[in-house]
Copies of this chain bind each other. A is one copy, B any other.
Amino acid sequence: MNDAQRITGVLSPVVTPFKADLSPDPERFVRQCKWLLSQNVGLAVFGTNSEANSLSVDEKVALLEKLVSAGVDPSRMMPGTGHCAITDSVKLTAQAVKLGCAGVLMLPPFYYKGVSDEGLYRSFSEIVERVGEPRLRVYLYHIPPVAQVPITLGLVERLLKKYPGTVAGMKDSGGDWNNTKAFLDAYAKAGFDVFPGAETFLLQGMRNGGAGCISATANTNPGPIARLFETWRSADADAQQAKLDGIRQTFAKYPMIPALKAAIAHYGGDAAWSTVRPPLVELTPDQSRSLVSDLDARGFTMPGLR
């Protein structure tokens, strides 16, 4: 894979459908991924919003194999593969590379807190070395509000020096534009692709050398977000951004993952989509009605989903 083939644009941390027995539902998952691709949105499956950390490695391997065997293009995939245990991260990462995924989005090991950059460097290094694939493209996943273990500028510098090309970029879900900007300023010109973790910073990101965004709400509002990525230099870009922000703020009034699933259930006419795995809890019927009412008032639709 040369640099020209790097995955960029808008990616969705695809929400994972569950059956009534809480097992993953591969058929619904394939349909959802195909719909997202039809909206020009790539597939950051197994992200935070995918409830990926509520799935075992084997469950994720099975879903990934199912996607590829169902004809979903792996060059449009950036599965999340970072776990607390190196051995788990290696297993899923190696499988992703074998299946031809464009890259992997890698959480730091997130159980132990207050760990050093040296320890994180050793962790990522060990995974890269064990996978041992020149095709591997690693995107580091900075999400301190959830993982509580940050990816620092110094860590990226060390990893880029040791694994140029392999360490290909990052997702910044910290919600702090100054942090995103610091990474863009430091490494974007060297070919390190920075994806803000929400469309909130899509336009600002693109104006500062960003690679797109990876956003929860790309699950439900994919077309308009992808359109801003494609037309960010156009005169109406700020107006597009403002409209995207309104939709996002509506979702953000509710617990995000259950709200995304409630919207897919409603606009897709498929109630089964509302199921989440514990420790998450689905929206109450009142919350769902309120969400839909707010979204309808904004003219929100999910074309082609039903």
Using a CB–CB cutoff of 8 Å, the interface residues on chain A facing chain B are: 22, 48, 53-59, 84-88, 91, 108-113, 115-116, 118-120, 122-123, 126, 145-149, 277-281
Contacts and interface: CB of A to CB of B under 8 A. Distances in A.
A278 B109 contact: yes
A109 B56 CA distance: 12
Contact of A56 (B22, B57, B277): B57
Contacts of A112: 48, 53-54, 146, 279-280
A170 to B, nearest CB: 17
Q: Which residue of A111, A118, A146, A148 has the most chain B CB atoms within 10 A of its CB atom?
A: A111
A123 B111 CA distance: 18
A236 to B, nearest CB: 36
Given A110-B111, A111-B146, A146-B112, A278 B86 contact: yes
Nearest to A51: B112
Given A119-B281, A146-B111, A86 B22 contact: yes
Contacts of A54: 84-86, 109, 111-112
B85 A279 contact: no
B53 A279 contact: no
A216 to B, nearest CB: 13
Nearest to A23: B87
Contacts of A56: 57, 85, 87-88, 91
B53 A85 contact: yes
B115 A280 contact: yes
A48 B88 CA distance: 18
Nearest to A127: B278
Contact of A122 (B55, B84, B123, B281): B281
28 contacts: A48-B111, A48-B112, A53-B109, A54-B85, A54-B109, A54-B111, A55-B85, A55-B87, A56-B85, A56-B91, A59-B85, A59-B87, A84-B84, A86-B278, A108-B279, A109-B279, A112-B146, A112-B280, A113-B146, A115-B281, A118-B281, A119-B278, A119-B279, A119-B280, A119-B281, A120-B279, A122-B278, A122-B281
A281 B146 contact: no
Nearest to A55: B85
A200 to B, nearest CB: 20
